[in-house]
Chain A
Amino acid sequence: MNFFEFLQQNWSELLALTREHIFLIFVSTAFAVLIGVPLGILLTRRKSLQTPILGVANILQTVPSLALFGLLIPIPFVGGIGAKTAIIALTLYSFLPVIRNTVTGISGVDKKVKEAATAMGMTDWQILKMVELPLALPVMLTGIRVAVVIAVGVATIAAAVGAGGLGTYIFRGLRQNDNNLLLAGALSSAILALVADFALGQIEKIYSLPNIKNKFSRQRRKFVLISATALILILFGLSFWQNSNNSAANSADKIRVGSKDFTESLILAEILAQMLEKKNVQVERQFELGGNLAHDALLSNQIDVYPEYTGTAYTAILKRPPITDTDAVYQQTKSQYAKKFDLTVSPPLGFSNDFAILIRGDVARKNNLKTISEAVPLSANWQAGFGQDFMSRADGYAGFSKAYNFNFIKQPREMDLSLTYRALAASQVDLIAGNSTDGLISALDLFQLADDKRYFPPYQAVFIARQNKFELLSETFERLNNAISTEEMRRLNYAVDADKRAPKDAANDWLKQKGF
């Protein structure tokens, strides 16, 4: 499928994501201006506050965006998943240019003009309103323009906290190795940034001094001001209307299905969602939640159910030392979840998505490698590449390299999990830890080394649900008990990752085939 065909097929989704993107930028910029401009004015009145407040704004801007989103998630009222968190993070990012340019603009007003204004008996408020703000406006508008352009870029990260926007395509594209998705997401946000930059630049020009002095453009200025305000209000109203439609109240008979941010989790969530919808249960999708967000969202009652793996639940969430007995892991996870979190664990879905130690197929064939142990002697000069998850967890890199006595000379490269497959196929790394059901394994001719020491704990797929929604879900859970084999899951993943099927279509195909 070429890019234009892709656009033809997906333009309505792309448009919806663009609208979400604009909404995020819009609301956050509005907040940044509403708070930042008065704060900037205050700083010109209380100069001693300038260093601390500008310092804080400066630091906020240097925090990597993904980290800022991550920091906000556990904070009550402010954090969580969805647009609210993203808007707060974006607002924090937009503060610096808005505040700084307000201060610079007002401080930059000619001293003689200010002295004259004071000596003529103008009050501080009059000086601000009649002299300082009009003269500082072009500089302040530049600040807002910079804030908006930054926000267009940072807002792509918002998809990681389930806030939607064009980042959804970018993350999905990276995950599914799909250049059309990547291009559509990146190109659209770049165009958005350019359009915003140009439009705000025009407004700025109209308000710059040579034009303020021009009689003709005074009327034009008024016209621009009125039409811009009208446009802003319309957009604002529209996006709130849109949003209130999306987030209908959490009614008792509605199921909010969540998913993690990788293909398999999306497919499983789709399968569940579609089965529920066939039973006429109202479903809300909160997909593509990164890291442990899905678990956090479940605990904070923002979703009702999401697909999880017993091994992840057992080691990463319950923080237990890894064990390799499949049944023990399942039983203990189930009882601990009920006790600790008041959450239900569904019966196993039938397949496991274990850690898969992968190397390139040609390397495996050439050296006749089958197991991890066989690879150890050859691996000293290999460059390993692991996802953040694998690097940080107890049953990840640290335990694994010790168990197999790996001695990599080069420090393993920590990268996004979805990039490791491509990096391995492109010989940029030589060994990765992937997922055993990943469709890319066969698509990119990668080889899974057998875990001959049975180091990795089992990762049986299950659904985790809130206790109060269990009744609505139990029948569907029973039908899915042992319903998906590893081979089927690999095929489903492959359909999405390699054949570029939409997760919902792949899920639908499987449901039909199974007669569900």
Chain B
Amino acid sequence: MTETSETIVEFHRVNFQIGAVKILDDLNLQINEGEILILLGESGCGKTTTLKLINRLIEPSSGEVLVEGKSTTDWNLINLRRRIGYVLQEAGLFPHFTIAENVALVPNLENWEAEKRQTRTTEMLELVGLNPQKFAARFPHELSGGQRQRVGVARALAANPDLLLLDEPFGALDALTRTNLQKEFAKLVRELNKTAVFVTHDLHEAFVLGTRIALMDKGRIVLNDTPENFVKSELPLARAYLETVRRYELF
């Protein structure tokens, strides 16, 4: 992360509402190359909505979301999505595809040659710590939750996107598996120099992974700063989050 890093995603006065209910309220946000931005907040605060606006799973009611300087509504929808990796809770793997087929999904859609595809799949499985010989031919239901989530990450990385979106990917895992995956993921993203937007409600996870934390409340970003400055914040909601972490640290 240097001073000269480029803005990859930009929210400009974005509103999103369903009927009369405001989900996002005049949201402004910049995400720069190489950052791991954490969207932190309670359920219903709009963090997942913010994430889904980036790959246009939903469209803003007003304002615009720019990806690489171009409004998402100007992008070819399919192209936009295929160059953004997406990881969701419980992985969302295709139950009728093998692990290899799941990982090779986007390369497949993009009509990569068979050989290149296979090499890439093997590479990706190794990258997320799964033995390709052992796992490639298996089906998702034969894997543990943690292993499935690793496959989810491999699938998101397979077509080598610059930007990754993650929607509470480790939320449903047990504490030990979660901690391991968080550490490995942080290392992986930094090594590969990816930009990532990561949705969580867990401040501990935010600290382990994030280079910047955006705290959201009722459709607005109320704090947008580095983890170091987050700790010093006097904001009541930030203090409340910090309380939860301190309580853990007593034990």
Interfacial residues, chain A to chain B (CB-CB below 8 A): 110, 112-113, 115-123, 126, 130-131, 134-135, 209, 212-213, 215
A120 and B109 contact, Cβ closer than 8 Å, known pairs A112-B90, A112-B92, A134-B96: yes
A-B contact count (CB 8 A): 63
Interface centre among B86, B90, B96, B137 (most CB of A within 10 A): B96
Complex partner residue of A112 from B88, B155, B165, CB under 8 angstroms: B88
Q: Contact flags (1/0) for B168-190 with A, using CB distance below 8 Å?
A: 00000000000000000000000
List of A residues within 8 angstroms of B79 by Cβ: 121
Whether A119 lies near B96 (C-beta < 8 A) is no
A209 CB, nearest partner CB in chain B, Å: 6
Known: A113-B94, A121-B80, A209-B95. 20 other contacts (CB 8 A): A110-B92, A112-B89, A112-B90, A113-B92, A116-B93, A118-B57, A118-B81, A119-B57, A119-B84, A119-B88, A119-B165, A120-B82, A120-B86, A120-B106, A120-B109, A121-B79, A131-B94, A134-B96, A212-B95, A213-B96
Q: Is B239's CB within 8 Å of the partner chain A? A: no
What distance in Å separates the Cβ of A6 from its nearest Cβ neighbour in chain B? 51
Also in contact, A121 and B96, with CB within 8 A (given A116-B86, A213-B141) = no
The one of B81, B91, B92, B139 in contact with A121, judged by C-beta atoms closer than 8 angstroms, is B81
**Chain B: interface residue count, which band?**
20 to 34
A120 to B91, CA, bound (A): 12
Closest to A134 in B: B96
B21: Cβ under 8 A from any A Cβ: no
Once the chains are docked, how many angstroms separate the CA of A493 from the CA of B155? 79
Cα–Cα distance between A131 and B96 once the two chains are bound (Å): 8
| Contact yes or no, A121 B78, CB < 8 A | yes
B38 on the A face (CB < 8 A): no
Does B121 sit within 8 A of A, measured CB to CB? no
B91 to chain A, nearest CB (A): 8
With A213-B139, A215-B137: A119-B94 Cβ-Cβ less than 8 Å: no
Q: Which of B49-92 contact A (CB under 8 A)?
A: 55, 57, 77-82, 84, 86, 88-92
Residue of B nearest to A137 (CB): B96
Indicate if B105 sits at the interface (CB-CB under 8 A).
yes
Interface residues of B in 98-145 (CB under 8 A from A): 105-106, 109, 137, 139, 141-142
Q: Which residues of A contact B81 (CB under 8 A)?
A: 118-121
A-B residue pairs in contact (CB < 8 Å), sample of 30: A110-B95, A112-B88, A112-B89, A112-B90, A112-B92, A115-B57, A116-B86, A116-B88, A116-B91, A117-B94, A118-B57, A119-B55, A119-B86, A120-B81, A120-B82, A120-B86, A120-B155, A121-B77, A121-B78, A121-B80, A121-B81, A121-B82, A122-B109, A123-B78, A135-B95, A209-B95, A212-B96, A213-B95, A213-B139, A213-B142
> Can you list the 10 inter-chain pairs with the closest CB atoms, starting with the nearest?
A116-B92, A121-B81, A121-B82, A119-B86, A112-B92, A213-B139, A212-B96, A121-B78, A134-B96, A113-B92
Distance (whole angstroms) from the CB of A215 to the closest CB of chain B: 7
Closest to B155 in A: A120
Is the pair B93, A121 in contact by a Cβ cutoff of 8 Å?
no
Nearest chain A CB to B228 CB, angstrom units = 32
A residues less than 8 Å from B96 (CB atoms): 134-135, 209, 212-213
Given the interface pairs A135-B95, A209-B96, the reply to whether A121 lies near B106 with Cβ below 8 Å is: yes
Chain A residues near B165 (CB-CB < 8 A): 119
